[in-house]
């Protein structure tokens, strides 16, 4: 008879075998569900190899790109479902950090932790600086600080379109992504996402002081550019980025290989002080869909229209929409003399829903513009005193719901200290 003692002995042997198999190459945190962890240090105290199974032999700044991109086909570079722990400090890679695998990259470590819960992202700031990136290829530029794209392949070169590595999930958490300002970035100087399928999560990050330039009529997304897939940005700051064209802070594009279009979700973020030469100082929804919730969009500037948000759906579909929920848009501006919208502009056939939000500027004129064919709904929103439905042009062609008496709304609602939206005083 197979006794319980034999059963437990067999279980013990299996567990010991599994443990030794993992321990051969990687240090694995028990709560990580088998995900393999790599350690990265900014200084040179590590051995500089890619055998990054613990802090004592963590890879260094010089091999960070090789760890993530694996252009040299190194056996110790990241595999799908890897985790990267990054020590505090400033990293200055000389080339874009291209990611083709499913990976989670976490900053905020002092350099001796073995669990994610032990890090402190406030004390141990982990900065990825673009000041040393000078990469230009074939007369074009593929430079962003983080470039998430299944088009690249290990060992260098590019995949054919039918060989894209789809369904990739990437997390960037606890990082400051900053200072790519050289004239080498066309799209998304801070973070550029091009996925046929997959999810990218940016959490607890600062994406600041990056810049795209206008070569070949491009230059969009000073901070972030998404072109296909799903990008979720939470608990982050997108600030002081600049785009020569559209979207000083964020651009939502679209990919022909992703029929559903790009999808952007932004929650509990501050989008501030971004600038662009054309449209959408804070956010430019060019194609795809956007859901913006619990955000402050403030002091952004557009050279043309939509200092806060601009929605211009090129070849719009019925599935594409923009939702603004529980947000504050305040003091966004345009520099064009005849601009028609400083805070929000939707000028092509699309759906716009704005709920429980404060939309404010010193001047009530040209606050919002809703173009012909746009279906828009504004519910429980507050505007400056004197702002009326007639300020939205053309009013006659828009299916718009307003709560009237804006001065009463300002008195009735106040900003919560813990929230970006409005709180009913009743």
User: Which range, of 28-37, 139-148, 306-315, averages the lowest pLDDT?
Assistant: 28-37
Helix or strand (DSSP H, E) at 239: strand 237-239
Rounded CA separation 298/332 (Å)? 6
pTM for the whole structure: 0.84
Report pLDDT digits (tens) over 204-213: 999 999 999 8
- In angstroms and rounded to an integer, the radius of gyration of the C-alpha atoms of the chain is 24
DSSP per position, 40-92: E-SSS-S--SS--SSGGG-B-GGGHHHHHH-TT--TTS--TTEEEEEESEEE-
Query: Phi and psi dihedrals of 206, rounded to 5?
Result: -115, 120
73 burial level (CB within 10 Å; 0-12, 13-18, 19+): exposed
Report pLDDT digits (tens) over 220-277: 999 999 988 899 999 999 999 999 999 999 999 865 544 457 899 999 999 999 999 9
pLDDT of residue 374: 85
pLDDT of residue 198: 81
pLDDT of residue 66: 78
Rounded CA separation 115/136 (Å)? 38
Q: Mean pLDDT across the stretch 295-299?
A: 96
Rounded CA separation 66/59 (Å)? 10
């Amino acid at each position: 008879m197979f006794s319980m003692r034999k059963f437990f002995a067999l279980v013990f042997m299996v567990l010991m075998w599994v443990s030794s198999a993992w321990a051969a190459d990687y240090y694995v945190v028990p709560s990580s569900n088998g995900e393999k962890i790599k350690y990265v240090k900014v200084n040179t105290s590590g051995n500089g190899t890619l055998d990054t199974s613990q802090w004592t032999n963590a890879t260094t700044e010089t091999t960070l790109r090789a760890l993530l991109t694996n252009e040299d086909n190194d056996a110790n570079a990241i595999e799908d479902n890897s985790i990267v722990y990054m020590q505090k400090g400033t990293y200055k890679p000389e080339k874009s950090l291209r990611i083709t695998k499913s990976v989670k990259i976490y900053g905020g470590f002092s350099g001796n932790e073995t669990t994610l819960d032990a890090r402190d992202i406030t004390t141990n700031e982990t900065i990825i600086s673009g000041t040393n990136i000078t990469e230009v290829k074939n007369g074009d530029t593929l430079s962003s600080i983080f470039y998430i794209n299944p088009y690249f392949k290990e060992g260098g070169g590019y995949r054919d379109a039918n060989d894209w590595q789809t369904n990739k999930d990437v997390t960037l958490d606890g990082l400051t992504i900053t200072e790519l300002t050289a004239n080498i970035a066309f799209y998304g100087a801070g973070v550029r996402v091009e996925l046929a399928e997959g999810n990218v999560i940016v959490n607890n990050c600062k994406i600041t002081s990056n810049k795209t330039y206008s070569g070949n009529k491009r230059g969009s997304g000073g901070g972030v550019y998404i072109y296909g897939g799903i990008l979720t940005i939470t608990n982050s700051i997108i600030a002081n980025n600049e785009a020569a064209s559209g979207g000083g802070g964020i651009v939502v594009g679209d990919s022909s290989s992703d029929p559903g279009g790009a999808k952007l979700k932004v929650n509990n973020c501050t989008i501030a002080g971004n600038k662009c030469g054309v449209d959408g100082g804070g956010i430019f929804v060019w194609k795809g869909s956007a859901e913006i919730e619990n955000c402050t969009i403030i002091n952004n500037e557009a050279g043309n229209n939509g200092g806060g948000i601009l929605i211009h759906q090129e070849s719009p579909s019925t599935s594409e929409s923009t939702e603004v929920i529980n947000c504050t848009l305040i003091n966004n501006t345009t520099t064009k003399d005849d601009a028609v919208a400083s805070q929000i502009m939707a000028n092509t056939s699309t759906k716009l829903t704005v709920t429980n939000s404060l939309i404010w500027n010193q001047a009530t004129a040209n606050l919002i513009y809703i173009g012909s064919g746009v279906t828009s709904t504004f519910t429980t929103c507050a505007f400056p005193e004197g702002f009326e439905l007639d300020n939205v042009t053309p009013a006659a062609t828009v299916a718009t719901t307003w709560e009237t008496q804006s001065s009463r709304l300002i008195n009735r609602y106040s900003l919560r200290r813990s929230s970006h939206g409005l709180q009913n005083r009743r």
